[in-house]
Structure 1
Amino acid sequence: MHKSKSLRAQLIGRLTLPLLVVVILDAVTSYYVAMYFTDQAYDRWLLDSAKSLVQEVKVKDDHVTFELPPVATEVFRWDDMDETFYKVESENLGFMAGDDSLPSPAISELKKDRPYFFNSEIDDQAVRVVSVLTIPESSAEQVLVSVAETVNKRRDMMSEMLMAVILPQIFLVLITGFHIWTGVNRGLSPLHDLARTIANRSAKDLDPIPDTGVPLEVRSLTHTINGLLQRLGSTLITQQRFIENAAHQLRTPLAGLKIQAERALGADNPETMRLALSHIQNSANRVAHLNTQLLVLARSETISHSLPEFRLIDLTRLVRECCMDWVPKALERKIELEFDAPDVAVQIDGDDILLRELLGNLLDNAINYGRAGGHIGVKLECSSDISLIVEDDGSGIPLSEQDKIFERFYRIPGSPGDGCGLGLAIVKEIADLHAARVKIGNESSNQKGTRIAIVFVGQ
């Protein structure tokens, strides 16, 4: 079972996640920017210190010397936060002055007057080192001057810079998060109002939901709901009309049953009783037929409201068997029932029971309203589409009535027999369920009778 997710949580998550990513990326960028500019500032001071020591490298009596008075050394090393180290060494003389433990690069790897910066450690303390290679005047001796400083001031400056950048960002994130939260709540309020409106409605109230002042995004939802309410209202009206018509159709045969039953109970002779029982049988048959039609109609409607589970059907075999079932009734009216189909199987995807009902209603109408002693032709044609055709030679259907005959409980005025007006409505319902077209009319305008073709498109 899938857990439902809060729309509010999804919106807030999708809005705040990019914001947090941007803030994190900005913090990382700010860190490296702060580190770069901090190093630039302090490296410049470190280089100035190294250059000041370079000036103390001199040549006396053809010897390279480095002399730094104690007072100058004390001033040079003084710092309330960091420790400062220096080292002077030459290529030939080796260590000359300063802190021998200070790491330095190889003289052969450096170029004159080009500073070389690197990070290292002295006594487990992280230091920043700059080394400058110099060659005193009137001498060929290469002297390397290195100056190092612990990184306390650098770290403090970086922390101050980061705090100056990140604290306002955190404040802005909190303000932005608050506005996102309130904005999402306000944005969802029309949905909550719509839910309350629908929840407070009566089950019989199918009037459209007003969309005055509703946002455009929510208005599409209200329009969809209003469309559903309209279709539901139409369905309920149709259902109510169907129930009323069904009750009306059932009332006549049931009233006949009651009258004839009373007549049979009061009859004194067998002939009167037999006649009453014959009428009771006819009324019972009519009720049974109407009940069967209603059940078929209900079944087709149920299937139409869900995904139909069709299977491959041999339409040739189905139509042949159905025609054989209706031969006895055709013979009662001395009607010739002919079936014409290709020699090969004609297969379609469909519902076997409903297709039998479709053809049964067509044959029932053709037999009941066709010419006594006439002819009924049932044909299967396979061209671009598969067509099932039922044709009789009766009086036909007037052109003015052809748009009405598929309405439920509608019968052409003056029609013989005691039909209930559901046969062709069922045919249309089943045809629609199979995505088939129903065509009425003869190929020739001079030909009499009724020709109904069920065209299975795309089968």
Structure 2
Amino acid sequence: MQGSEAEPASLPRKSLKRGLVVWLVGVLSALLLVDAWYSYRDALAAANQAYDRSLSASLKGIAERIYATESEVVVDIPYSALELFEAGSSDRVFYGVTYQGGEQITGYEGLPLPPTLQPNVAVFYDGVYNGQALRLGAMLKPLYRTEFPRPVIVILGETTNSRQEVVQSLFFGEVGRKAVLVVVALAVALLATRRAFKPIERLGGAIRSRLDDDLTPIEASEVPREVAPLVYAINQHMGRINKMVEARRRFIADAAHQLRTPLAVLNTQAEYALRQHDEAAMRPAVEAFHKSLGSAIRLTNQLLSLSRAEPVNGLALAPQPVDMAALAGDMVVELLPLAARKHIDLGVEGMAAGCGAATVSGQAVLLRELIANLIDNAIRYTPEGGLVTVGVACEDSGEGAATVVLTVTDNGPGIPASERERVFLRFFRLDAGDHQGSGLGLSIVREIVHGHAGEIALDDAPDGRGLRVVVRLPAA
């Protein structure tokens, strides 16, 4: 069936697109505000430049008609000096002529003075007079008479109504054009964003419409380059999930296949034992049942160990430092009773030879299972009175990298060189007489070794008789 689960109501749909749109609107709005401030400043500067020319002409016209006689200062304000401000203007004009120092000669009293003045140079500035904002111009006029040593200051100001009208006209015209451009740019950006997100939306739809067991890689040829790494990461994750699912399926298939026969045998033996009324006749059936039950338990445990040993199952825990010498010694002590039943000499030698500590980074439970399987196999296939030796050593693999080497050597029948690769396959059994193994021991060992980035090899025993298993693991 197809993946038809409804999306959670709390899942924000198209949140990335919405966030990008909000970001674009915010950036463009901020840019428009900044540009509006600069546009207003430029419009005000342009209006002042144009109107200050008229103000300068009138100011110079007044200054030229000021002269001094022997007894007085004559101020003859020409009509043309004020005529420039009267034609269709809504502004008022204020003028004043004072001595430098503050004594009024004519005109409006109390007009704002400029901060600095130079002779015959017009200075323009803003000021307030009787509550009205003014644009003023001032000029210092020397009289060149000994009777009047002080120069006079000519001040001419006008209200800013006309200037503000011009400023607003320039400002709104400029901002209006740029606002239109911003809206067009935003529309283009929204369209481009929508087109850019289309492949992602199609990708999401394709994933939602997949079958529940479809873990094939996602096609990344039509997605944007920026999204490709995400698709590759998803494909890698789906690949890991697919391996885990395959491991689960393999475990279920193996368990169903391998446990069906032992369980059927157990059921038959139990039925046979129940049909016996004599205790003496029932005992052989119960003993056979007990033996079969032990084999079934061992097979089940090994299946579980194999499943846990496979790294793709996702059951691995965080690696910890493990002392292989100590672990091997513990396992030898634990399995001594099993060796004693067959009068096998089980011992250890060469513990951590050549290094301070035979420590690896891994999982103690799995490494314990590895050593237990190797020793158990060696004991099972070594004849009575035989010899099984476990060794742990260190060797330098070059460039400062150390390797911990675990060896398990027996003097049993060994494994032919032609079969040494096949014995690692699941459920593969050699023709070993009465030995009834599950065929999983070495498979478990290989999975554990590979999960710890190690190597395993089978070789002849040093004296040519028996088998030697060599496991190399990176030292911590």
Alignment TM-score, normalising by the size of structure 2? 0.83
> Could you say which residue in structure 2 is the equivalent of 1:245?
254
> Could you say which residue in structure 2 is the equivalent of 1:81?
90
Q: How does 1:345-356 map to 2 (within 5 A)?
A: 346-356=358-368
Find the residue that maps to 2:136 and give its secondary structure. strand
CA distances 1:99-153 after superposition (whole Å, capped 9, x unpaired):
12212247xx532122222221100111122211122466655222111122222
Find the residue that maps to 1:194 and give its secondary structure. helix
Find the residue that maps to 2:25 and give its secondary structure. helix
> Could you say which residue in structure 2 is the equivalent of 1:454?
471
- For structure 1, the residue ranges without an aligned partner over 5 or more in a row are none
**In the aligned structure 2, how far is the partner of 1:32 from the partner of 1:413?**
99
**In the aligned structure 1, how far is the partner of 2:84 from the partner of 2:234?**
83
Alignment TM-score, normalising by the size of structure 1? 0.85
Q: How does 1:37-56 map to 2 (within 5 A)?
A: 37-56=46-65
**In the aligned structure 1, how far is the partner of 2:212 from the partner of 2:92?**
85
Could you say if the C-alpha distance between residues 405 and 163 of structure 1 is closer, same or farther in structure 2, counting changes exceeding 3 Å?
A: farther
The answer on whether the counterparts of 1:116 and 1:130 sit within 8 Å (CA) in structure 2 is: yes
Q: Percent of pairs identical after alignment?
A: 30
Total equivalences in the alignment: 454
**In the aligned structure 1, how far is the partner of 2:18 from the partner of 2:207?**
23
**In the aligned structure 1, how far is the partner of 2:176 from the partner of 2:216?**
55
The answer on whether the counterparts of 2:143 and 2:150 sit within 8 Å (CA) in structure 1 is: yes
**In the aligned structure 1, how far is the partner of 2:336 from the partner of 2:441?**
19
The answer on whether the counterparts of 1:64 and 1:141 sit within 8 Å (CA) in structure 2 is: no
CA distances 1:25-44 after superposition (whole Å, capped 9, x unpaired):
22222122222222222222
The answer on whether the counterparts of 2:99 and 2:150 sit within 8 Å (CA) in structure 1 is: yes
> Could you say which residue in structure 2 is the equivalent of 1:430?
448
Q: How does 1:2-151 map to 2 (within 5 A)?
A: 6-61=15-70, 63-68=72-77, 75=83, 78=86, 80-91=89-100, 94-105=103-114, 109-136=116-143, 141-151=150-160
The answer on whether the counterparts of 1:440 and 1:450 sit within 8 Å (CA) in structure 2 is: no
Q: How does 1:48-447 map to 2 (within 5 A)?
A: 48-61=57-70, 63-68=72-77, 75=83, 78=86, 80-91=89-100, 94-105=103-114, 109-136=116-143, 141-206=150-215, 215-217=224-226, 225=234, 232-233=241-242, 235-266=244-275, 273-301=282-310, 305=314, 308-340=317-349, 341-342=351-352, 346-383=358-395, 384-412=402-430, 417-433=435-451, 435-442=452-459, 447=464
- For structure 2, the residue ranges without an aligned partner over 5 or more in a row are 1-9, 396-401
Farther-moved stretch of structure 1 (154-163 vs 230-239): 230-239
Find the residue that maps to 1:389 and give its secondary structure. strand
The answer on whether the counterparts of 1:438 and 1:452 sit within 8 Å (CA) in structure 2 is: no
**In the aligned structure 2, how far is the partner of 1:397 from the partner of 1:217?**
55
Tell me the amino acid that sits aligned with residue 353 of structure 1: V
Tell me the amino acid that sits aligned with residue 430 of structure 1: I
**In the aligned structure 2, how far is the partner of 1:266 from the partner of 1:363?**
40
Tell me the amino acid that sits aligned with residue 118 of structure 1: Y
Q: Provide the aligned C-alpha RMSD in A.
A: 3.4
The answer on whether the counterparts of 1:369 and 1:416 sit within 8 Å (CA) in structure 2 is: no
**In the aligned structure 2, how far is the partner of 1:437 from the partner of 1:74?**
102
Could you say if the C-alpha distance between residues 408 and 135 of structure 1 is closer, same or farther in structure 2, counting changes exceeding 3 Å?
A: same
Tell me the amino acid that sits aligned with residue 362 of structure 1: L
Tell me the amino acid that sits aligned with residue 359 of structure 1: I
Farther-moved stretch of structure 1 (89-98 vs 189-198): 89-98
Find the residue that maps to 1:54 and give its secondary structure. helix
Tell me the amino acid that sits aligned with residue 110 of structure 1: L
Tell me the amino acid that sits aligned with residue 455 of structure 2: V
Find the residue that maps to 1:431 and give its secondary structure. helix
**In the aligned structure 2, how far is the partner of 1:114 from the partner of 1:311?**
89
Find the residue that maps to 1:386 and give its secondary structure. strand
Q: 1:360, CA displacement in angstroms?
A: 0.9
Could you say if the C-alpha distance between residues 394 and 38 of structure 1 is closer, same or farther in structure 2, counting changes exceeding 3 Å?
A: farther
Farther-moved stretch of structure 1 (282-291 vs 35-44): 35-44
